[in-house]
Amino acid sequence: MSPPLNFDDPNQSVCFIPYNDSGGYGPNEDFNGVKQVLEDTINEDEEKESKKELDIDGLADGEEIRWKAYRGAWTRCLNRMQELLDVIYKPVVAEVVEHISTANQEELPGLPYSEVPVITLTSPSMSPVFAQQVLAQLEAQEQRNIYTAHLHPQECTNLTSTLKSLIATFTANSISGVGGYKTSGQTLAAYDIRVLDAWYQALLKSYRRRASVQLIVVLHGFEQFDPAVMQDLLYICSLYISRIPLVFMITSTLTLLRIQNFTVPSGNPVLEKILLNTFASTEFEPDLVLGPAVLESTIDSYVRHNPSFECLVDHIQLAHLKHFSTIPLSALLHNVPDGKLEEPSSFKFLEHLVACLHVQDDEDGGVSDWKTKSVGDVVRLVDDARTNFYMRARKIRLVFALLRLTQHYLEGKGHKGFELPQEKDLCPRDLRLLIKVLRGGGMDRMLKQARLVVSKMTPPESSEFQANLKTFCDRLPAELHDEGHLVLGHLDCSANEVAEGLIEFMNSQLEHPLYTANLWPVWYTGESPFPSETLNPSVRASVISGLLRPKEFTLSSQAEPEPDELWERPDTSILFARYLESGKMINVYDWFDSFHQVLENQRSHLRNKRRQRVLAERNATPGSPRKRGSPRKSGSPTKKSANKGKQKDVQQEEVDELDEEQWRMQVHARFIRALHELDYLGFIKHTKRKQDHVLRTVFDVSD
C-alpha cells in the first residue's frame, strides 16, 4: 500500500506539467514550454516588468539565439560541475575498484564456513552517479581480469531463473583461443553452478600468466529481490567461493557475507567544492554569474531537502533557463549576432539596447551623441561592456579568494575570524562569505576587522601568512597577473603595513559592484528570485483552484475567462461546489440530489441551445426556387412541410421521454465518477458510523 500523500511536505515527489493550448511550439518546443512555465512562477510585479521586456524583444530569431546562448552557457557550467564531481569521487572509486580486484586474495583462516565478499556503497542521497562511475571503471577492466554481471529483480523471480541468468551472463564472454564457451547440454543444466565453474577454469587456462580473475555480480534494486531467492543464491555461491571468486555489490547486508563498506562523499563539503570551484574560482570563469538570491535558494534546498548532485544541477539549470527566457538582452551573452541588428525586424530590440546604453551613459556622466552612433558602434559598446563585466567578476572572485584564505589562516591559528550573518544557519561558512561579497553591503566592517586581526599577528605568523599569499598569487591565471603583482607589492613588510596594503587593495576592487556594470543583466542574475514554484509547487492550492475555476486551466493565459454558471462546469467542479456548501458531515443522498438538480438545469439549457441552433440553421438555409414556367404540384407543399416539422419535434419529445431511464442511469454514473475523483484527491473521508455519510477534509477555502 502506498504511503498517504502530504501535500504540505516539500519532500514529496511532484510532477509539474504546465498546460499549453497552442497545440505545439514549433522548432523551439522545449524552450518555449519552459519559458511559459517560468513566466507563470514569478511574482506579479516582476511578471509585469518581464512582460514589458518580452514585448520589446524584436530581435530577429531572438528566441533561437537566446536558446543557443543558454545551451552554450549551461553546457560549460555543467561540464565544470561534472569534472569537479569526478575529482571528488575519484579516490573512493579507485579504492572500491582496488578492493574488488583483491577481494578473494586474502583468506581468513579458522572460519566455520566460506564467506562471500560483498561491497556496500553508502550515501545519504539515492544518486546513482557514484555507482555508475564504479561500474564504468570495472567494465573498462574486462579486457584484463574483471568480468561483471548485472542482475535485476524482474529476471530473478525464482532460484532457477536467477542462476540461469547469472551463469548465462558470464559464459556469454568469449575465451581467448577457444571462441565462445558452450556447454554440452547433456550432463549439466543451464542453471547448474558447475557450468560457471567449468567456464571459469577454462578462462584461467586461457591466460598465459597465472592472473587473478574476478567475477563481479551487481544486484540492482536489491530491496526488490525475493529474500528466499537471495538467501539460496548466496548459500550456493558460498559453497563454490574457493573455486569461483565471486564478488557481490549490493546496498544491504546478509549472513554469510564479509562486508566492506565504502561511504560516498556527500553533504556540505561536496556542495561547497562544486559551487565555489564553479562560481567563485579564479581558475574558471562562468558565462553566467549567479546572484545571491539564486545561490541562497539553491543552498537552502540542497541542505534542507535533497542533498544530491542531481538536485544541485536541477537548481542551477533552472536558474539558467529563467535568465535566458525572461531577459531579451541575454542573446548578447557571448557575442552580438552577425547582421541581426541591421534587419528591420530587429529595430525594436536595437532601440531598447541603445536606451539601456544611454541610461548607463547618463548615470556615468557621459555626454555621448547617440544620434551619430551606428550599429557598428553599438556592437563595439556591447563588446566593451562584456569585457568590463567579466573583468569586474574576476576581481570580485579574487577578493573573495583573499578573504577566504585570510579566514582559514586565522581560524587555523585559533583566532576568531570574520563575523558572518547567521540568518542562514544551515548555509556553509564559505558560501555565506561569497554571498556577502556579491551583495557588497557591510563589507567595510568586515575589512576593518580583517585589518585589525592581521595587524596584530606575531612576526612568525605574519611571515607564514605572507608566504601563503605569495604562493596564492603565483598560481593566479594570466588574466589576474596585474592584480597579483599589486598584492605582492604590499608584502615583505611589517604586519601593520601588510594589513593596510591588503585592505586597501580589496577596497579598490570592491568599489564597482557587478550590479553597477553596463548591461549587467545580460551576464548576472543579481537579486532576481529563484523560480522555486517549478520545483516545489503548491499542489493543494493548484488542485482547489482548478476545481473552482476550471476555465483558467483550459483557456489561453492571455485571455481573461468570463464568469461561468455552475451548470457550465465539469461534473467534479459541480460536485465540489456543493461540497463547499455543506457541513462537516455530508449526506450522500442529499449531495446527489443537489448534483442532480444542477444536471437537470444543465440539460434544459443544452436542450434550448440545441433547439435554437436547429432553428437558426433551418432559417438560414434558403429553399430551392421553383423553375419559371413549371406547374405547381397538386396539394399544399408548405402545409406538408410544416406538418412534417411538427412531426419531427413530436418524435424528438417521444425519444426524450423514452430516454428518461437512461438519463437517470447517466446521472448516477456521473455522480459516482465525480465522487470517486474527489475521494482520490483526498477531499472526503469515509466513516463507519454512518454508511450514507462522508466527512469533509478541506475547510476555509477562499474563492
Dump the DSSP string for 309-349.
HHHHHHHHHHHHHHHHHH-GGGGGSS-PPTTTTTSGGGHHH
**What is the average per-residue pLDDT within 636-652?**
50
Q: How confident is the model at residue 25 (pLDDT cuts 50, 70, 90)?
A: very low
pLDDT of residue 20: 41
Amino acid in position 617: E
Third-level CATH fold of 538-608+654-703: Arc Repressor Mutant, subunit A (1.10.10)
On whether the CB atoms of residues 305 and 271 are closer than 8 A, the answer is: no
Helix (H) or strand (E) holding 611: helix 588-620
Q: Is the pLDDT of residue 673 over 90?
A: yes
- For residues 469 and 3, give the distance between their C-alpha atoms in angstroms, rounded to a whole number: 56
- For residues 468 and 55, give the distance between their C-alpha atoms in angstroms, rounded to a whole number: 53
- For residues 157 and 252, give the distance between their C-alpha atoms in angstroms, rounded to a whole number: 19
- For residues 537 and 513, give the distance between their C-alpha atoms in angstroms, rounded to a whole number: 34
Q: Is the pLDDT of residue 573 over 70?
A: yes
Q: Which residues contact 519 (CB under 8 A, 6 or more apart)?
A: 329, 332, 356, 357, 360, 382, 385, 386, 389
552-571 burial string, b = 16+ CB within 10 Å, else e? eeeeeeeeeeeeeeebebeb
pLDDT of residue 212: 67
For residue 249, CA distances in Å to 116, 262, 571, 700 come to 11, 11, 53, 53
Q: Which residues contact 251 (CB under 8 A, 6 or more apart)?
A: 120, 121, 122, 222, 223
Beta-sheet pairing, 684-686 with 693-696: antiparallel
Q: Is the pLDDT of residue 671 over 90?
A: yes
Q: What is the DSSP letter of 561?
A: P
On whether the CB atoms of residues 431 and 424 are closer than 8 A, the answer is: no
**What is the average per-residue pLDDT within 86-106?**
77
Q: Is the pLDDT of residue 617 over 80?
A: yes
pLDDT of residue 683: 92
Task: Give the other-Cβ count within 10 Å of 283's Cβ.
Answer: 11
**SS3 category, 29:** helix
Ranges of beta strands (E only) in 603-696 are 684-686, 693-696
Could you tell me which of 467, 460, 457, 455 has the C-alpha nearest to residue 405? 467
pLDDT > 70 fraction of the chain, expressed in percent and rounded: 72
Task: Give me the helices (H) in 370-489, please.
Answer: 375-412, 429-439, 443-455, 459-474, 481-488
Residue range 102-263 forms a domain whose CATH class is: alpha beta
Domains 102-263 and 538-608+654-703 share a fold: no
**SS3 category, 482:** helix
State the residue for C-alpha cell 563498506: 261
Q: How confident is the model at residue 198 (pLDDT cuts 50, 70, 90)?
A: confident
In the chain, where are the structural domains located?
Answer: 102-263, 538-608+654-703
Diameter of the chain measured on Cα atoms: 129
CA atoms within 13 A on the CB side of 21: 9
pLDDT of residue 463: 86
Q: Which three cell numbers stand for residue 393?
A: 567578476
On whether the CB atoms of residues 245 and 147 are closer than 8 A, the answer is: no
Task: Give the other-Cβ count within 10 Å of 251's Cβ.
Answer: 16
The answer for 296, left when phi > 0, alpha when psi is -120 to 50, beta otherwise, is alpha
| Residue with more model confidence, 291 or 372 | 291
**What is the average per-residue pLDDT within 293-298?**
90
Q: Which three cell numbers stand for residue 100?
A: 574488488
pLDDT of residue 14: 45
Q: How confident is the model at residue 141 (pLDDT cuts 50, 70, 90)?
A: low
**SS3 category, 82:** helix
What is the tens place of the pLDDT at every residue in 435-454?
888 887 767 787 887 788 88
CA atoms within 13 A on the CB side of 68: 11
pTM exceeds 0.85 for this model: no
Average pLDDT, rounded, for the chain: 76
Q: How confident is the model at residue 286 (pLDDT cuts 50, 70, 90)?
A: very high
Could you tell me which of 67, 68, 61 has the C-alpha nearest to residue 345? 61
Q: Which residues contact 697 (CB under 8 A, 6 or more apart)?
A: 682, 683, 684, 685
